[in-house]
Amino acid sequence: MKNNIRQFCFPTSVAEAARLLSRAKGKVLVVAGGTRLTRNISPQVEIVADISDVPLKHIKADKKWLKIGALCTFDEMEKSPLLAKWACGVIAQTAAFVSNAPARHMGTVGGNVVRPHPLNNLPAVFLALDAVAVATDGRKEKSFPFAEILKPEVMREFGSKYLLTEIRVPAVTKSWSAATDRLAATKTDWEAWANCVVVGAKKDGRCLDVRIVLGAVLPRATRMAEAEACLLGQPCDESAAWAAGFAVTAELQRLTNASEAKAYACEVAGVLARRVVIAAFQD
């Protein structure tokens, strides 16, 4: 296929990569893990920037944040001892669900976030954990809450104006209850019908705080506010989980305009949400 590539660049620092983006606005294709198909290149692309040498592979925590470098692969996240303990291991578990072994070794968290697809698993987890995406335009660093970053108009800025460098998850979430599950043909099948993440905090058997996020059903990962309201302040028991599940189905039916094509997904998403709520809050 015809392409207009003039250069392949291999920046070795964040500053160098960000400079490249700002110098050739809209003409740079950033590649890292390389799970993007190489033959579908826009004719606008003149420079391919392979950022895999940029040192952004850290997974560490300080008093305020858990920090995950944008170039961490799914395999590295799955095997991280820190992520295995964080929020009941929900990030590591989600990374382990991703596609197949070579994709888990090649694909990066940054690519999963900035090339948004409804079926990508990690944006739903980060949205549930109140995470922020840290990016730079070469001059200054900017933080985007996940609720913001998943909007298409913001997402378009990544790879053209901003270089994603890190995902930060608030430290308070370390001890939160969490669970995730997905309905798909196989455990790691990328094309799930529904994907659900529930995180939250409870005290004396009651739900203090909760996030219910659905992926795959809608164009982007979305919090289910009405289902969350069903749980807040309630005893963490099966009847609350059933109520949350019904609320998820009703909310999704509204959000998908009762589309017949999505009717099945809305139903199963409610059942999935109920199961994940039970798993997240069980002792």
Partner 1 sequence: MAKKGRGVLKVVDGQLDIVIQINGKDVSLRVGAGDNLLDTLRAQGFKGVKKGCDNGDCGTCLILLDGKPSLACLLFAAQAHGRKVLTIEGLGSTDKPHPIQTAFVEAGAVQCGFCIPGMVLAAKALLDENPDPDEPAVRRALDGNLCRCTGYVKQVEGVLLAARKLRAGSE
The CB-of-205 to partner 1 minimum distance in angstroms stands at: 35
Q: Is 35 in the site for partner 1 (CB under 8 A)?
A: yes
Residues 103-162 that bind partner 1 (CB under 8 A): 103, 105-106
Closer by beta carbon to partner 1, 38 or else 143? 38
Place of tokens 């998403």: 269
What residues form DSSP beta bridges with 49? 9, 30
Q: How many residues bind partner 1 (CB under 8 A)?
A: 29
Alpha-carbon gap, residue 153 to 65, rounded angstroms: 27
Query: Which of 121, 126, 145, 144 lies closest to 68 in space, CA to CA?
Result: 126
Assigned token pair, 32:
């890292």
Q: Taking CB under 8 A as the rule, does residue 16 contact partner 1?
A: no
| 268 sits near partner 1 (criterion: CB under 8 A) | no
Q: For residues 150 and 225, what is the distance between their CA atoms, to the nearest angstrom?
A: 17
Tell me whether residue 9 or residue 255 sits nearer to partner 1 (CB atom): 9
Angle at CA 203, nearest 5°, toward 244 and 129?
60
Mapped onto helix, strand or coil, the DSSP state of residue 209 is: strand
Under the binding rule (CB under 8 A), the answer on residue 37 touching partner 1 is: yes
Write out the binding residues for partner 1, residues 87-106 only, by CB under 8 A: 99-103, 105-106
Residues 181-220: x where in contact with partner 1 by CB under 8 A, - otherwise, as a string: -------x--------------------------------
Comparing CB distances to partner 1, the nearer of 101 and 258 is 101
* Tokens, residue 196: 């659900």
Q: Does 41 bind partner 1 (CB under 8 A)?
A: yes
* Helical spans, DSSP H, in 115-237: 122-128, 146-149, 152-155, 225-231
- Contacting range for partner 1; rule: CB under 8 A; set: 46-54, 128-136, 174-182, 243-251: 46-54
Which helix H or strand E contains 280, and what residues bound it?
Answer: helix 260-281
Residue 67, helix vs strand vs coil? strand
Q: Which residues of this protein are in contact with partner 1, per CB under 8 A?
A: 1, 3, 5-10, 12, 31, 34-39, 41, 48, 50, 52-53, 99-103, 105-106, 188
